[in-house]
A and B are shown apart, each in its own frame.
Chain A
């Protein structure tokens, strides 16, 4: 009896603990939403957390701003192209690493992750110089192009995708490929008809997380673009330097930047931690 009561009070304590930490986690985001729903006049005076009226102009003026629209389109194009490219190449790479006897392949596998671990600030200068002065064909430079960012994001997303997919491809029994080979299929058919259908869930998760990483990236997007290929994160940062005081619109832009994060949370929640620890942690 006492044991039972202890157990009930313990789980009550745990709920309380988690309730408090959940409020702390959500409060900053909730406050941003509050700011985005207020006009400039409402923002001054004592800060209240209650939303009494919804001031939609922050959102409507943001969405109808042509600069914002361009940033949004750029971000969507870059993140999507990067996710598709990375998932496809990572599937090829992990298939090779998993099924072929290649000398030094494990060292290669470990080496890929160093690309992910390196501090991006270190590569800003050489990449900027390469993009503006070296990778130049006739008049075409990689600087300020979407393709430049798409290819660059592969450097840190490919290792992530390879590390995530490796376990999944390894888990597909080799007998399945052998059987297909015996039936006269070629390598390409094995990859697309046997491996691909079985790896689909893993590929989807990898693609989704890759998409978010590309969407969230700021430092390279801010340095390697100037006008045409600016992304939504650079647009958000510009609010601080250009129109530093329009907090309502900044909050609205930030809220719109958050939307994909919320979608991903719904789609791939279980895999986010595994993804962020390169598969070291399985939930």
Chain B
């Protein structure tokens, strides 16, 4: 009755789709990455060229700059989100009327299409239309123009990401905080520990798994951000916000240099995997240490 072949039969359609549209593209890009293939070049045929693409890639300043920008963006965004999200979650631990309502509001950004988030922030920041440049200039005399100033554009994309994803961190950490045991905190209060000591020695270690898991999920998302930034700045001014996804999609892809583009995609995937694995190893290693004692 319960033969495993029936089980495999149930799994078959899922595995087939994941193979054809997930694994096959990966294998394909793995092959093309080692070839020279450009359908509009003098020699449009696919030719095997070994590691030549990668040789070119490690000296490609635009690509390396874009990688650096992506890391910088992910770092600033995720750190701000964790810090801000933690404080919001702490504030939310208290009971007060209308809690459910506030919670609903904070879930809203999570379901909005990234492209619409980009549109929203564009409307906020466009000079001559958006309230942000207008009021910053009127109240503080600050000239805000993200199509002109590199740092402003970069930090606006970070702020946008913080606006979009802090609620996820808040709600995740809130769930973790609510499930913490009460005794260590009561004991610490009896022992006369101050707030910072309680935070540093009790809350933080207990929350570590939840924080690491959130960092992991947010990091993976931040590294592949494309839609919002494309809508907000188009990668500009210049290449100031051209994160790696945008770089592949808008700069390398239209050149139809398939071999080189595939090599770049592969290296991006490689770096994502390395980072992902390092975060995950950190996560698991910590848990194993805890289990040992």
Residues of chain A with a CB closer than 8 A to B226's CB? 120-121, 218-219
Stretch at the interface among B102-110, B180-188, B285-293: B102-110
Question: With the chains together, A262 CA to B10 CA distance in Å?
Answer: 34
8 contacts between A and B (CB under 8 A): A18-B88, A25-B106, A96-B7, A119-B269, A121-B245, A123-B265, A127-B21, A216-B115
Q: With A14-B92, A218-B113, A251-B123 in contact, is A125–B234 under 8 Å at CB? A: no
Chain A residues in 8 Å Cβ range of B175: 273, 281-283
Minimal beta-carbon separation of B275 from chain A (angstroms): 11
Known contacts A125-B265, A129-B28; decide if A236 and B116 are in contact (CB<8 Å): yes
Instruction: Decide: B120 and A31 in contact? CB cutoff 8 A.
Output: yes
Extra inter-chain contacts (20) besides given A14-B96, A126-B28, A257-B115, CB under 8 Å:
A12-B96, A14-B92, A15-B98, A28-B121, A31-B130, A32-B119, A32-B123, A47-B135, A90-B14, A96-B11, A101-B7, A117-B272, A121-B244, A121-B249, A130-B28, A151-B17, A216-B112, A236-B119, A265-B108, A272-B110
Which of A100, A125, A239, A282 gathers most chain B CB within 10 Å? A125
Q: Cβ of A254 < 8 Å from any Cβ of B?
A: yes
Of B18, B111, B114, B116, which is within 8 A of A272 by CB?
Answer: B111
Do A123 and B96 contact each other (CB < 8 Å), given the known contacts A129-B258, A236-B115?
Answer: no
Contact partner of B131 among A21, A31, A154, CB < 8 A? A31
Q: Is B155 an interface residue (CB 8 A)?
A: no
Contact bitstring B56-75, A, C-beta under 8 A = 1, else 0: 00000000000000000000
CA distance A99 to B6 in the complex (A): 11
Shortest Cβ gap from A97 to chain B (Å): 7
The majority secondary structure among interface residues of chain A is helix
Q: Looking at the complex, which one of B10, B266, B276 makes contact with A95 (CB distance below 8 Å)?
A: B10
Q: Is the CB of A265 within 8 A of B104?
A: yes
Candidates B14, B131, B253; contact of A47 at CB < 8 Å: B131
B residues 73-103 near A (Cβ < 8 Å) are: 88, 91-92, 94-98, 102-103
Asked if A49 and B248 make an inter-chain contact with CB atoms under 8 angstroms apart, the answer reads no
B123 touches A125 (CB 8 A): no
Query: Among the listed stretches B47-55, B164-172, B192-200, which one makes contact with chain A, having 4 or more residues with CB under 8 Å of it?
Result: B164-172
Are B167 and A254 neighbours in the complex by a CB distance under 8 Å?
no
Chain B residue with Cβ nearest A8: B96
Q: Tell whether A219 pairs with B227 under 8 Å between CB atoms, given A18-B102, A102-B7.
A: yes
- The CA-CA distance from A103 to B8 in the complex, in Å, is 10
- Give complex CA distance A96, B95 in Å: 43
Please measure, in the bound complex, the distance between the C-alpha atom of A117 and the C-alpha atom of B22, giving whole angstroms: 12
Residue of B nearest to A11 (CB): B96
B129 lies within 8 A of chain A by Cβ: yes
Closest Cβ–Cβ distance, residue A226 to chain B (whole Å): 14
Complex-state Cα separation, A273 to B218, whole angstroms: 13
Contacts of B110 in A (CB 8 A): 272-273, 276
- Give the contacting residue for B224; candidates A14, A108, A120, A262; CB below 8 A: A120
Q: Which B residues touch A216, using CB under 8 A?
A: 111-115
Residue of A nearest to B104 (CB): A269
Verify if A137 is at the interface (C-beta below 8 Å from B): no
Chain B residues in 8 Å Cβ range of A258 = 112-113, 116
- As a 0/1 sequence over residues 251 to 285 of chain B, the CB contacts with chain A under 8 angstroms (1 = contact) are 00100001001100110110010001000000000
